[in-house]
Amino acid sequence: MTHLRCSVSHCGTTLDLHDRALACPQCGNLLEVAIEPPGAEPRVLKQTWLERRMSADPRDVSGVWRFRELLPDSYGPQGVVTLGEGNVPLVRGQKTAAWAGLRNLSFKHLGWNPTGSFKDLGMTAGMTEAKFVGATAVACASTGNTAASLAAYAARAGVTGRVYLPAGQASVNKLAQALDFGAELVEIEGSFDDALNVLLEKADPSLYFLNSINPFRIEGQKTAMFELLEQLGWRVPDYLVVPGGNLGNSSAFGKAFIELKTYGFIEKVPRIIIVQASGANPLARMWTSGAQELEAVAQPETAATAIRIGNPRSWKKALQGVRFTGGRVMDVTDEEIGEAKTLIGRDGIGCEPASATTLAGLRKLVDSGEIDRDAEIVAILTGHALKDTDYIVKSRKR
């Protein structure tokens, strides 16, 4: 049976799938969902998933629940809290590809989800589980996008949503979304990390906790990789490039590839490259120094507010994926992010600053010769251009 287990494999602790624990009761590390091998052949499931695109079952309309054979799936068609998330296109890079020196670059734009960021993919899974266990109030700490997403899905589920934001640091667009969807807003003096600490210290058992340390969030987010490979006819690209903040998304993608390879859906995996902002780069520092433990950045600073995080909780999970795929971790400056973001805009795509770390990182890796010009690359864009309009207007004046 699908269950929860400690994400550090040598610990071996397992828990019931619907246990509400957020950390391993034995060693304190994060939990993950252990997915059982699916009952059908990969070839058959790939066909089933494709055919569901023509179905009207709410689970099939969702680009997350369409892949339910590799998800916790206790819910039934009426049990899922969905806004038809997922189903976002893969868009080829034009000027961006030339700028980075690449011939085969595509963007998977997860910012084209219902609330404008990839957080919706995790939120449908987390909110569905929250409803299943009978939660009446849900909460998260957020740099903005998780708040917007939680607020929308809480409204759909008919539960109270409460979001903890670093005061004055989230973009006004994201704040407006959370208000529009009727969430309760709590502003915390300090950084995202401080806001998360305040929430975790509350340990209020009546609140269901929906940050990305919630293992169900990771399950929803991993389906972006199933959808990506389906779009590529299950041809595996050479590299997958993803921005790194709290490192939930990169963890989710790593888990997706581990499961797909282990269960025989693919024969090779793309190298995962995580790109952080240089002012909030604890994992990139650890990677470069060869240290065994993550050292938090006390005062994270970057204009890419979605990744202004000094103490990423999911770093161990993220490293598992990077190591499994033979990938790497790196960082880019705010200036490099700004240039890359402009190019993504000029390609007619647009994104929020955090997403542009991907293109900025790629350009550096092509320049240094680490990535071949002909390599097949998919870059993940995490947030919509309208998420941070201040940034755009201010850069014009600069």
Residues that bind ligand PLP (CB under 6 A): 117, 119, 145, 212, 243-250, 306-307, 352, 354-355, 382-383
Lookup: tokens for 298: 């006390």
- In angstroms, rounded to a whole number, what is the distance separating the alpha carbons of residues 319 and 270? 15
Distance, CA of 264 to CA of 128 (rounded, Å)? 28
Least distance from ligand PLP to the Cβ atom of residue 48, Å: 29
Q: Which residue is at the shortest CB distance from ligand PLP? A: 383
Q: C-alpha angle 382/22/162, rounded to 5°?
A: 60
Considering beta carbons, is residue 63 or 383 the nearer one to ligand PLP? 383
Q: CA-to-CA distance for 378 and 95, rounded, in angstroms?
A: 15
Beta carbons within 8 Å of 253's beta carbon, 6+ residues apart:
221, 222, 224, 225, 240, 242, 272, 321, 380
194 — phi, psi (to 5°)?
-65, -40
Q: What are phi and psi of 80, to 5 degrees?
A: -85, 140
Nearer to ligand PLP, 195 or 375 (CB): 195
Which residue number, 93 or 245, has a Cβ lying nearer to ligand PLP? 245
207 φ, ψ to 5°?
-100, 130
The two three-digit tokens of residue 345, written as one number: 């805009």
Nearer to ligand PLP, 15 or 91 (CB): 91
Q: Tokens standing for 218?
A: 């990771």
244/350 with CB nearer ligand PLP: 244
Distance of CA 332 to the CA centre of its chain: 19
Q: Which two tokens stand for residue 12?
A: 């071996």
Nearer to ligand PLP, 119 or 363 (CB): 119
Residue nearer to ligand PLP on the CB measure, 82 or 171: 171
DSSP state of 144: S
CB 257 within 8 A of CB 290: no
- Nearer residue to ligand PLP within complex by CB, 270 or 383: 383
DSSP string, 314-334: THHHHHHHHHHHT-EEEEE-H
